[in-house]
Structure 1
Amino acid sequence: MNTINKTMKKTIQLITISTLLSQSMAVSANTDINPEHKGRNDYFAKSYQPLCSLPTKTIATASTLEEASQHEFILNKELGLSTQLNNQGEAYIQLAIKEWNEKFIVGVTPKTHVSMAGADIQGADIVNLQCAEQSQYLTHLNTHEWGSYTLKLTGKPNQLVKVQITTTAQ
């Protein structure tokens, strides 16, 4: 009987140690911040903070590149949209860029990829650490001319996504 009690006690200790170790690793994973994300968040804090609470308007976005030109959004200082990706996990949003050499930041739902033909990507998949909940990924874009540009979003089929855009002077 004494041997069984010792064995059970050791098993309980191992389970306890294992549980504490896994919890410690989970906490560590949540607090390990990519140094590049931290640096960008520090530098662009004034631009990133408004994206956390930028209101969104629910819209139906284009499912193809050709459809995107039928509904254009003017990018002034900021723009907030909520939409659903199509069955292929894509959505297209046509933006009217009014300035030369426009720099802007696109915040999206995590695991949503942002691309834009004719624009330079200056950073992608950056976690917005300025928000209470870190549920926004950022992409920095730079256009060189004024005109129409199509923002392409890709993710999971039929995924609901938020798109929050702000221009930046930095």
Structure 2
Amino acid sequence: MNTINKTMSKTIKLITLGVLFSQSMAVSAATEVNPEHKGRNDYFAKSYQPLCAMPTKVIATASTLDAASQQEFILDKQLGFDTKLNAKGETYIQLAIKEWDEKFIVGVTPKVQVTMAGADVLGADIVNLQCEKQNQYLTHLNTHEWGSYTLKLTGKPNEAVKVQIITTDL
């Protein structure tokens, strides 16, 4: 009987240690920050902070590249949308860029990919650490000329997506 109690006691201790180790690793992984994200967040803090609380409005965006030209949005300081990806997991937003060498940051729902033909991507999939809830991925884009550019968002089919765009001088 004594041997059984000792064995059970050791087993319980091992299970407890395993659970504590797992919890510790989960907390460590959740709080571990990519050093590149930390550096960018420090440098761009004044640009990233407004994206956390930027108002959005519900917009049905284009589900095809051709349809995007029928619905153009002027990029003037900031834009905010709540939209939905199509059944293929895509949506298109045509932006009218008014300035030469325009730099802007696009904040989106995590795991949504941002691309824009004709623009330089200067950073992508950066977690916005300036927000209380870190539920925004950032992409830095730079266009070299004024004109129309189409932003393509790709994610899960029919996914609800928040899109927040802000121009920056940096």
In the alignment, which residue of structure 2 is the partner of 1:101?
101
Partner of residue 142, structure 2: 142
> What CA deviation, in whole Å up to 9, does each residue of 1:113-133 have, x standing for no partner?
000000000000000000000
Aligned equivalent of 1:22: 22
SS of equivalent to 1:118 = coil
Letter in 2 for 1:59: I
Aligned to 1:47: 47
CA distance in 2, matches of 1:96, 1:60: 18
Partner of 1:79: 79
Q: Displacement of 1:67 after TM fit?
A: 0.3
Distance in 2 (CA, whole Å) between partners of 1:4 and 1:87 is 59
Deviations 1:98-155 (A, max 9, x none): 0000000000000000000000000000000000000000000000000000000000
Q: Which residue of 2 aligns with 1:124?
A: 124
Is residue 36 from structure 1 mapped to residue 32 from structure 2 by the alignment? no
Q: Which range moves more in the overlay, 27-36 or 78-87?
A: 27-36
Q: What is the aligned partner in structure 1 of residue 114 from structure 2?
A: 114
Which stretches in structure 1 are left out of the alignment for 5+ residues? none
Aligned match of 2:11: 11
Q: Following the alignment from structure 2 to structure 1, what is the Cα–Cα distance between the partners of residues 160 and 17?
A: 40
2:111 aligned counterpart, secondary structure: coil
Unpaired runs of at least 5, structure 2 = none
TM-score w.r.t. the length of structure 2 is 0.99
- TM-score normalised by length of structure 1: 0.99
In the TM superposition, residue 64 of structure 1 has moved relative to its aligned partner by 0.5
Q: Cα RMSD between the aligned structures?
A: 0.5
The worse-fitting range, judged by mean Cα deviation, of 38-47 and 23-32 is 23-32
CA distance in 2, matches of 1:4, 1:158: 56
CA distance in 1, matches of 2:14, 2:157: 43
Q: Secondary structure at the match of 1:161?
A: strand
Tell me, yes or no, if structure 1 residue 133 matches structure 2 residue 133: yes
Distance 2:132 2:109 in 1: 14
Which whole-Å CA distance do the structure 2 matches of 1:89 and 1:2 have between them? Answer: 62
Name the SS of the counterpart of 2:100 in structure 1.
Answer: coil
Which stretches of structure 1, 4 residues or longer, exceed 6 Å deviation after superposition?
A: none
Aligned to 1:42, what secondary structure does the other structure show? helix
